[in-house]
C-alpha cells in the first residue's frame, strides 16, 4: 500500500483551498500571501508530474518574484490599498460569475477526463533534436529550449525586453531617463543589511550553479537568472545598491545581450550549417552554453527592472 495517492489527494485539496483563499480574502496583503503559499504548493504538484525544472521556475518567478511585484505595487498604492471607489459586486453578478466559472471549470475537467488513451507526444522528435543539434546535453528541456524550439525561446526573450520598454514608457514624460523608485523607502534595519550582505554573494553563486548544471540536470538559464534577479532585488531592498538610471549603457546592453547573441548565433548558423539556428554538432554544447550565459544576464537584468517599475518623476538625490 503506497502513501503516494494520499499525498496526491491531500496536496490537491490544499492547492485548491489556498487558491480559493487568494480569491476570497478580504485584504490585498492576505491575498498576496495566499498566492505565494499557493505557488509553493503548486511547485510540489509539478514535482509529482516529474517536472523539477517547472517547479523551480514556478517557485522562483510564479510565486516569489510575482508576490514581491504585487506587494511592492500594493505599497505604492497604499493610500487606497483597502479602498475601492467602485460598488461591491451585486449578488446577481456573483451568481452569474459563479455559474459561468463553474461551467468553464467543469467543461475543462471533462475534457481532461476524456483525453485520448494514446497520448500525442513530441518526445521522440525532441529526442532526435536533442541528440542532433543539442548533442551533449543531459537535460532534454534545455535541449528543447535552445535548439528544438529555439525560436520560441528567442521571441520570449524579446517579449521580456518589450515588457521592460513598456513599463518604462508608462512613466511620465518628464521622468524618462531617471531611476525607478527605490524598492524600500525607509532606511533598512541592521538585520536586513546583514541578511543581504550574507545572502547576496552566496545566492549569486547558487544562481550560477543552477544555470551551469542546467545543461545536464534540471535548472537552466531561466531558473538561474531568476535567482540572480532575486539577489539583485534583495541588495536594492537593503540599500546596498540603488536602482540604476534607465538610460545607463550597461543596463541597456545587459537587457539586449541575450536576444542579440541568440540572433547572431542563429544567423551565423545560416552560413556555417545551412539553416537558421543550425549548429555544427561538434560545437553544439559550447555554443548553447555561450547563448545561455547571455540569456541569464538578460533575465537577471530584466526581472528587477520590471518589479522596480516606471522611472521616478523626481531624480533620486
Partner 1 sequence: MTFLVDLFRIVAIVVGTFFFVAGTVGLLRFPDSLTRLHALAKADNIGLGLVVLGLLPLTENVLAAFKVILIWALVLVSGGSTAQLIGRALRSGRR
Partner 2 sequence: MNESLLGTAGLILLSVAAGLARVLSGPNDVERLMAVQLLSTGGVAALLLIAYATNVPGVDDVALGLALLTAFAAIAFVNHLEADEGGAET
Partner 3 sequence: MTTAALAGLVGAALVGFGLYGLIVQPHPLRKLLAFNLIGSGVFLVFGIVARRGAAAGFPFDPVPQAMVITGIVVAFAASAVAVALIWRLYSETGHVTLDPDAWTEPSRERES
Which residues of this protein are in contact with partner 1, per CB under 8 A? Answer: 189, 191-192, 194-195, 198-199, 202
> In this structure, how many other beta carbons lie within 10 angstroms of the beta carbon of residue 162?
11
Query: Does the footprint of partner 3 cover residue 30 (CB under 8 A)?
Result: no
CA atoms of 281 and 272, how far apart (whole Å):
11
> Rounded to an integer, what distance in angstroms lies between the CA atom of residue 111 and that of residue 152?
27
Please list every residue from 148 through 187 that binds partner 3, using CB under 8 A: 148-149, 152-153, 156, 159-160, 162-163, 166-167, 170-172
Between residues 47 and 272, which has the closer beta carbon with respect to partner 2?
47
By beta-carbon proximity to partner 1, the closer residue of 48 and 189 is 189
Q: Which residue in 19, 17, 18, 7 sits closest to 45, CA to CA?
A: 7
295 binds, among partner 2, partner 1, partner 3, none (CB under 5 to 8 A by kind): none
Taking CB under 8 A as the criterion, the residue among 37, 40, 196, 222 binding partner 3 is 222
Minimum distance between the CB of residue 55 and partner 2, rounded to whole angstroms?
5
Between the two ends of the chain, the Cα-to-Cα distance in Å is: 66
Q: Is residue 21 a contact point for partner 2 (CB under 8 A)?
A: yes
Query: CB neighbours (10 Å) of residue 6?
Result: 10
The C-alpha atoms of residue 261 and residue 157 are separated, in whole angstroms, by 11
Query: Which of 200/257 has CB closer to partner 1?
Result: 200
* Residue 194 interaction partner, one of partner 2, partner 3, partner 1, none, beta carbon < 5-8 Å per kind: partner 1
Q: Is 178 in the site for partner 2 (CB under 8 A)?
A: no
- Could you say whether residue 41 binds partner 2 (CB under 8 A)? yes
Per partner kind, with CB cut-offs from 5 to 8 A, the member of partner 2, partner 1, partner 3, none near residue 267 is: none
Comparing CB distances to partner 1, the nearer of 71 and 195 is 195
Instruction: Kindly state the smallest distance separating residue 233's Cβ from partner 2, in Å.
Output: 7
Cα separation of 22 and 267, whole Å?
A: 46
Q: 269 vs 310, which CB is nearer to partner 3?
A: 310
Residue carrying C-alpha cell 513598456: 166
C-alpha cell at 13: 485539496
Question: With contact defined as beta carbons under 8 Å apart, do 168 and 309 qualify?
Answer: no
Q: How many CB atoms lie within 10 A of CB 222?
A: 26
Does 135 help bind partner 3 (rule: CB under 8 A)? no
Nearest distance from C-beta of residue 11 to partner 2, angstroms: 7
Binding letters toward partner 3, positions 68-87, x by CB under 8 A: -xx--xx-xx-xx-xxxxxx
CB of 299 to partner 2, least distance (A): 14
State the residues that interact with partner 2 by CB under 8 A: 2-4, 6-7, 10-11, 14, 18, 21, 25, 29-30, 33-34, 36-37, 40-41, 43-44, 47, 50, 52-53, 55-56, 59-60, 63-64, 67-68, 71-72, 74-75, 78, 183-187, 192, 195-196, 199, 203, 206, 209-210, 213, 217-219, 223, 227, 230-231, 233-234, 237-238
Amino acid at each position: 500500500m503506497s502513501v503516494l495517492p494520499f499525498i496526491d489527494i491531500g496536496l490537491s485539496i490544499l492547492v485548491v483551498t489556498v487558491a480559493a483563499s487568494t480569491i476570497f480574502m478580504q485584504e490585498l496583503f492576505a491575498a498576496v500571501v495566499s498566492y505565494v503559499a499557493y505557488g509553493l504548493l503548486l511547485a510540489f504538484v509539478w514535482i509529482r508530474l516529474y517536472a523539477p525544472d517547472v517547479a523551480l521556475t514556478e517557485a522562483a518567478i510564479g510565486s516569489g518574484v510575482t508576490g514581491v511585484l504585487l506587494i511592492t505595487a500594493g505599497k505604492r498604492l497604499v493610500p487606497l490599498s483597502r479602498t475601492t471607489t467602485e460598488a461591491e459586486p451585486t449578488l446577481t453578478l456573483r451568481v452569474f460569475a459563479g455559474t459561468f466559472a463553474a461551467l468553464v471549470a467543469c467543461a475543462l475537467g471533462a475534457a481532461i477526463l476524456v483525453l485520448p488513451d494514446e497520448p500525442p507526444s513530441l518526445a521522440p522528435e525532441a529526442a532526435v533534436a536533442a541528440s542532433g543539434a543539442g548533442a551533449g546535453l543531459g537535460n532534454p528541456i534545455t535541449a528543447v529550449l535552445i535548439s528544438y524550439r529555439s525560436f520560441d525561446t528567442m521571441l520570449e526573450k524579446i517579449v521580456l525586453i518589450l515588457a521592460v520598454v513598456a513599463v518604462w514608457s508608462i512613466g511620465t514624460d518628464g521622468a524618462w531617463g531617471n531611476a525607478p523608485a527605490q524598492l524600500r523607502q525607509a532606511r533598512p534595519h541592521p538585520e536586513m543589511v546583514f541578511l543581504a550582505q550574507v545572502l547576496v554573494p552566496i545566492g549569486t553563486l547558487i544562481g550560477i550553479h543552477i544555470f551551469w548544471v542546467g545543461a545536464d540536470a534540471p535548472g537552466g538559464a531561466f531558473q538561474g537568472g531568476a535567482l540572480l534577479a532575486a539577489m539583485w532585488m534583495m541588495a536594492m531592498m537593503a540599500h546596498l545598491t540603488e536602482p540604476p538610471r534607465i538610460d545607463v549603457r550597461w543596463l541597456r546592453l545587459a537587457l539586449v545581450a541575450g536576444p542579440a547573441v541568440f540572433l547572431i548565433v542563429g544567423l551565423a548558423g545560416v552560413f556555417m550549417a545551412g539553416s537558421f539556428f543550425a549548429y555544427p554538432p561538434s560545437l553544439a554544447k559550447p555554443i548553447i552554453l555561450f547563448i545561455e550565459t547571455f540569456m541569464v544576464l538578460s533575465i537577471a537584468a530584466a526581472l528587477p527592472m520590471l518589479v522596480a517599475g516606471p522611472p521616478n518623476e523626481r531624480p533620486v538625490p
